[in-house]
């Protein structure tokens, strides 16, 4: 199905080359003020071309809010319906691909699942779907602001260039209120990695780190709706995500218990904290009041400007060549999507833990 969440529930629709994308965000709390400027900022950030190194193709993704707010922009507790028109649906780019099963794409699997496939493009499997998630995530952010919860995601790796763990970025910041950023020289190296990959007609993978601050202790359930399980589900729903790690992540497999115990202590105001945070802010599926952090690894963009062997829909071997320009690194756009899906998940979990 096409629904995320339990108490804050996003249901989406839209084919990449159909008339519009859109969704319904249900369970949104009443009394929250709509900030259209913020919504537009988030949409711009997700847009291909927003990052200097992604594809220069630009889309004007204007979100139309159809319900859920009063005439003066205060949420009513009712479902928020929204749409984003698909402009410039030049499906001609895809015409030559309609009878191919592209490698690492969903063409073949979608057809096996439903017995039919939208010949106009990626259909529901297209990353264009994330336009709806980004819009809904921006709305979730407006409510999270009222709860003092902040979600930030940054690209922490592109190919061989690794900026390290997201929690270390946070710890190294002098000012806890300052935005999370990657060291400028590493950021420049990442940009060069993407540029070089594009020049070679290739694509490259990457990793996004995400940090949640201000989350109170006691959010999440101990068994079936563990906070990390819900985050993992949300992150692995993002197109191209191949791995989810929280706290020490894969390093856990080679760790010792004596090195990774997060001792409880009191801070100067007498608030409970842990002296280290290998747990990633979650213990037994429930937040402990420390920052929650995790990473998502993304595969390289599957469409590359090189010949690829595959089958056509008649099951004959063919060599395909993609036309047009493509973002070579999914992870770059992924940061905005990771933020959006994290906001939706965290907001849902707070509402579900009441």
Of residues 286-345, those binding a second copy (CB under 8 A): 286-289, 297-304, 306, 308-311, 315, 317, 328, 331
Among 37, 88, 92, 115, binds a second copy (CB under 8 A): 115
Give the integer Cα–Cα distance in Å for 189 and 96: 36
What minimum distance in Å lies between the beta carbon of 180 and a second copy? 18
Strand, coil or helix: 283:
strand
Sorted by sequence, the CB contacts under 8 Å of residue 113 that are 6+ apart come out as none
Segment contacting a second copy (CB under 8 A): 39-47, 138-146, 176-184, 195-203? 195-203
Give the integer Cα–Cα distance in Å for 254 and 206: 23
> Cβ closer to a second copy: 37 or 71?
71
Give the integer Cα–Cα distance in Å for 340 and 27: 17
What is the phi/psi pair of residue 71, to 5°?
-55, -30
| Binding of a second copy by 223 (CB under 8 A) | yes
> Cβ closer to a second copy: 177 or 319?
319
Asked if 131 and 20 touch (Cβ cutoff 8 Å), the reply is no
| Binding of a second copy by 19 (CB under 8 A) | yes
Q: Tell me the number of residues near a second copy by CB under 8 A.
A: 148
Segment contacting a second copy (CB under 8 A): 35-43, 44-52, 139-147, 260-268? 260-268
Give the integer Cα–Cα distance in Å for 345 and 231: 6
Smallest CA-to-CA distance from 15 within 91, 160, 155, 118 is with 118
Smallest CA-to-CA distance from 25 within 3, 47, 42 is with 3
| Binding of a second copy by 195 (CB under 8 A) | no
> Cβ closer to a second copy: 1 or 178?
1
Give the integer Cα–Cα distance in Å for 128 and 17: 9
Sorted by sequence, the CB contacts under 8 Å of residue 308 that are 6+ apart come out as 102, 103, 319, 320, 321
| Binding of a second copy by 103 (CB under 8 A) | yes
What is the phi/psi pair of residue 266, to 5°?
-110, 140
| Binding of a second copy by 209 (CB under 8 A) | no
N-term to C-term CA, the chain: 26
Residue owning tokens 């949640």:
212
Segment contacting a second copy (CB under 8 A): 36-44, 134-142, 180-188, 248-256? 248-256
> Cβ closer to a second copy: 111 or 188?
111
Smallest CA-to-CA distance from 290 within 326, 313, 262, 331 is with 262
Show contacts with a second copy in window 262-281 (CB under 8 A): 262-266, 270, 272, 274, 278-280
Show contacts with a second copy in window 153-182 (CB under 8 A): 157-160
What minimum distance in Å lies between the beta carbon of 274 and a second copy? 7
| Binding of a second copy by 37 (CB under 8 A) | no
Site map (CB under 8 A) of a second copy, residues 120-159, x = contact: x--xxx---x---------------------------xxx
| Binding of a second copy by 11 (CB under 8 A) | yes
What is the phi/psi pair of residue 21, to 5°?
-100, 165
Strand, coil or helix: 15:
coil
What minimum distance in Å lies between the beta carbon of 106 and a second copy? 2
> Cβ closer to a second copy: 167 or 177?
167
Among 48, 137, 206, 291, binds a second copy (CB under 8 A): 206
Show contacts with a second copy in window 47-66 (CB under 8 A): 64-66
What minimum distance in Å lies between the beta carbon of 232 and a second copy? 4
What minimum distance in Å lies between the beta carbon of 146 and a second copy? 14
* Radius of gyration for the chain, computed over Cα atoms and rounded to the nearest angstrom: 21
Give the integer Cα–Cα distance in Å for 235 and 229: 10
Segment contacting a second copy (CB under 8 A): 44-52, 108-116, 140-148, 167-175? 108-116
């Amino acid at each position: 199905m096409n629904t995320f969440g339990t108490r804050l529930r996003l249901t989406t629709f839209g084919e990449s080359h159909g008339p519009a994308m859109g969704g319904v965000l249900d369970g949104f709390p009443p009394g929250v003020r709509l900030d259209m400027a913020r919504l537009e900022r988030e949409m711009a950030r997700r847009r291909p071309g927003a990052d200097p190194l992604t594809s220069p193709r630009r889309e004007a993704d204007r979100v139309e809010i159809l319900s859920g707010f009063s005439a003066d922009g205060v949420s009513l507790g009712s479902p928020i319906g929204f749409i984003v028109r698909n402009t410039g649906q030049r499906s001609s780019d895809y015409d030559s691909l309609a009878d191919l099963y592209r490698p690492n794409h969903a063409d073949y699997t979608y057809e096996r699942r439903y017995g039919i496939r939208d010949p106009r493009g990626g259909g529901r499997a297209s990353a264009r779907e994330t336009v709806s998630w980004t819009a809904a995530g921006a709305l979730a952010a407006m409510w999270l602001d009222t709860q003092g919860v902040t979600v930030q995601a940054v690209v922490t790796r592109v190919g061989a260039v690794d900026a390290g763990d997201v929690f270390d970025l946070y710890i190294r910041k002098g000012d806890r209120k300052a935005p999370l950023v990657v060291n400028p020289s590493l950021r420049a190296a990442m940009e060069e990695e993407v540029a070089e990959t594009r020049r070679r007609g290739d694509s490259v993978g990457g990793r996004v780190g995400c940090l949640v601050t201000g989350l109170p202790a006691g959010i999440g359930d101990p068994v079936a709706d563990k906070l990390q399980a819900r985050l993992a589900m949300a992150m692995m729903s993002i197109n191209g995500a191949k791995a989810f790690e929280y706290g020490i992540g894969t390093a856990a497999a080679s760790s010792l218990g004596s090195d990774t115990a997060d001792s409880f202590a009191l801070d100067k105001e007498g608030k409970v904290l842990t002296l280290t945070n290998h747990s990633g802010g979650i213990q037994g599926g429930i937040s402990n009041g420390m920052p929650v952090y995790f990473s998502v690894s993304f595969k390289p963009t599957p469409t590359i400007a090189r010949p690829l062997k595959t089958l056509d829909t008649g099951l004959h071997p063919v060599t395909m060549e993609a036309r047009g320009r493509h973002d070579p690194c999914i992870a770059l756009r992924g940061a905005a999507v990771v933020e959006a899906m994290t906001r939706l998940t965290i907001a849902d979990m707070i509402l579900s833990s009441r």
